[in-house]
Amino acid sequence: MRIGIIGCAGIAWRRMLPALAADPGVRLVALASRDPAKARRFADRFGGEPVTGYEALLERRDLDAVYVPLPAMLHAGWVERALESGLHVLCEKPLTGSAKETEALVGLAESRGLALLENFMFLRHSQHSRVRDLVAGGAIGDPLALTAEFGFPPVADDDVRYRPDVGGGALTDVGVYPLRTALLHLGAGLRVHGAHLRFDGRRGVDVGGAALLAGPGGETAHLSWGMERAYRSRYALWGSAGRIEVTWAYTPPPTHQPVIRVERQNHVEEFTLPAEDQFAAVVAAFVARVRDGVPSGLEGEPLLAQARLVDQVRSLALGS
């Protein structure tokens, strides 16, 4: 799969480009930045041709797909142009800032027979499919409630997550992880019944939040997130016969061996899984989807369900 990069962001340098460059099914053809020196620096490390300007990259005829790690506010426009150029797209999250924009892009990709994946790398880590298998096998009975928490200490003052002009804020950068976890384990029928966003008035962005969701069968999810708190990255499912917990859910390093804890009456089990690189797993899923049409779990209806929940959280929290 011949791929081009639209935007030389930090996440691309640290995690995604090493994974793309290492995958035998990928050839990194070109890397585009508005800054020629940055494009050259990325190309010197990862290979491919440095390109000045995103339009110039989309005009090439030697690409099958693009990876888009731009600031959030720029995603929708450049993803749309890439799809209109006939290219498959892997985009950093959030794909867009609203359900309306997400619906438009998902519809465009489907109409052109193209893959449009949102880079929720944690979903490709096998610890979550193991949880689903355990639940399906009756390990905790009927799942009734979920709690999920994701947060980390303050980032640098100039980080894009503190910039409202490029779509910064904790809800779409951090809160989407617990929201997507609720959808993964409790289903797409969830609705937001209460929400709160904590704002930083000086920076003009939300830096944390919480939400209460409920499903049609009475199942509930209590979610919290933030980017100015002690690190936490875990979730737990509480069922009619037990409880299951993932202790390093969202950002496990590739050397980490995940531990899944299952608690039942008078009995506790812990399952230690092999270490896994979830960024490499996303790349492999993208290649399989583009080449062979293998479902990825990172596109289509789950993207729409997640975008609708984000809209609901924002609407309830802001009273709009």
Residues annotated catalytic, as ranges = 93
**Do 265 and 193 belong together in one domain?**
yes
Residue span of the structural domain in which 190 resides: 125-276
CATH number at residue 151: 3.30.360.10
**Could you tell me if residue 137 is inside a domain?**
yes
Is residue 94 in a domain? yes
Same domain? 134 vs 240: yes
Question: How far is the C-alpha of 245 from the C-alpha of 229, rounded, in Å?
Answer: 21
Percent of the chain past pLDDT 90, that is, above it, reads: 93
> 180 and 137 in contact (C-beta within 8 Å)?
no
CA–CA dist 211, 208 (Å, integer)? 11
Residues 134 and 237 in one domain: yes
Q: What is the pLDDT of residue 184?
A: 97
Per-chain mean pLDDT for the chain:
96
Decide if pLDDT at 16 tops 80.
yes
42 and 72 housed in the same domain:
yes
Tell me if 298 sits within 8 A of 128, measured CB to CB.
no
- pLDDT for 174: 96
Question: What would the pLDDT profile of 189-222 be if each residue is shown by its tens digit?
Answer: 999 999 999 999 899 999 999 999 999 999 999 9
Per the domain annotation, does 287 fall within a domain? Answer: no
Burial status of residue 48 (CB atoms within 10 A of its CB: 0-12, 13-18, 19 or more): buried
Same domain, 22 and 87: yes
Q: Are residues 104 and 142 in the same domain?
A: no
Number of domains the chain contains: 2
Q: What integer pLDDT is reported at residue 158 of this predicted model?
A: 87
| Residue 160: predicted pLDDT | 87
Whether 146 and 110 share a structural domain: no
Residue at which a domain ends, from 119, 138, 163: 119
* Residue 320 pLDDT: 67
Residue 313 counted as domain residue: no
What was the pLDDT predicted at 166?
85
In this predicted model, what pLDDT tens digit does every residue of 221-270 receive, in sequence order? 999 999 999 999 999 999 999 999 999 999 999 999 999 999 999 899 99
Q: CB–CB of 30/56 below 8 Å?
A: no
Residue 163 tokens read as 């910039």
Residue 118, pLDDT above cutoff 90: yes
Backbone angles phi, psi at 11, to 5 degrees: -65, -35
